[in-house]
Amino acid sequence: MKVITLIAGILSVLILMLSGPLYQAEVLELRQAFMGFRVALIVGAIVLVLVLIQVIFMRKNIVWSTTIFSTLLALVAVGFPLGMMNKGKSVPAIHDISTDLVNPPKFNAILALRADAPNPAAYQGEEIASQQRSAYPELQTQTYSQSSDLVFDAALASVKNMGLEVVTADKATGQIEAYDTTAWFGFIDDVVIRIQSQADKTILDVRSKSRIGRSDLGKNTERIHEILNGIQLN
């Protein structure tokens, strides 16, 4: 049984880890890739049951190093999908986040790149704004005392430091557009930053939107926070 348990443990992790790369390689559809998570979780749970049986009823024949290794593999296969499920339950099922919910920044230069994206570029208005207000009340328009040129340069530096692919950076219009590609599944999220002068202040808004998927599992919000935290002004 210990050999079966070990093989099942390895298989559960392989199913989990290959789901993203196989989707990126277009071997699997997105639905099939997510199904891989469920299969990995089920196989991992079976491994834990087998380990428990061995510990209780077959203790004399246990090879502890193999049993511990199998258990660790199973915990990864079970824990990661469960973590994502819990994350999904803790955040609203939205994928378009903005610091300005009344007049969010609009995508322009990046529209051609997301022409075939399942999620349209247009903002859905109050349908998602109300959910964002409840979940992420801290996301607000940012105000700076520095000039718009300095804020623009700092915002662009933040985007570049994060490794986002810049599509346009037009200081004349105060607009920066870029996109971010996730490592595992290769999902692409688009970002637009709008910088405007207002009296003696500079105001900045950020919007981050996924090209695919109903829920972003909080990723767009995390990205906006990272962009804002990365804006360094003296």
What's at 178, amino acid-wise? A
Q: Is 234 or 212 the better-scoring residue by pLDDT?
A: 212
Q: Please tell me the distance from the alpha carbon of residue 182 to that of residue 135, in angstroms, as a whole number.
A: 23
pLDDT band for position 166 (cuts 50, 70, 90): very high
β-strand pairing of 165-170 with 175-181 = antiparallel
Q: Is the pTM of this model over 0.75?
A: yes
Domains of the chain, start order: 2-90 (no CATH), 96-229 (3.30.530.50)
pLDDT one-digit tens code per residue, 104-123? 999 999 999 999 999 999 99
Question: Is the pLDDT reported for residue 206 higher than 80?
Answer: yes
pLDDT exceeds cutoff 90 at 63: no
Cα 108 to chain centroid, rounded: 23
Find out whether 192 and 206 touch, Cβ atoms under 8 Å: yes
Look at the alpha carbons of 108, 110, 112, 117 in this order and tell me if their dihedral is positive or negative: negative
CB–CB of 66/54 below 8 Å? no
Q: How many CB atoms lie within 10 A of CB 208?
A: 27
Q: How confident is the model at residue 207 (pLDDT cuts 50, 70, 90)?
A: very high
> What whole-number distance in Å separates Cα of residue 58 and Cα of residue 54?
5
Share of the chain above pLDDT 70, in %: 100
Average pLDDT over residues 42-59: 92
d(CA 70, CA 13) in angstroms, rounded, equals 10
Q: Would the pLDDT of 134 be above 90?
A: yes
Instruction: Give, as one character, the DSSP assignment of residue 171.
Output: T
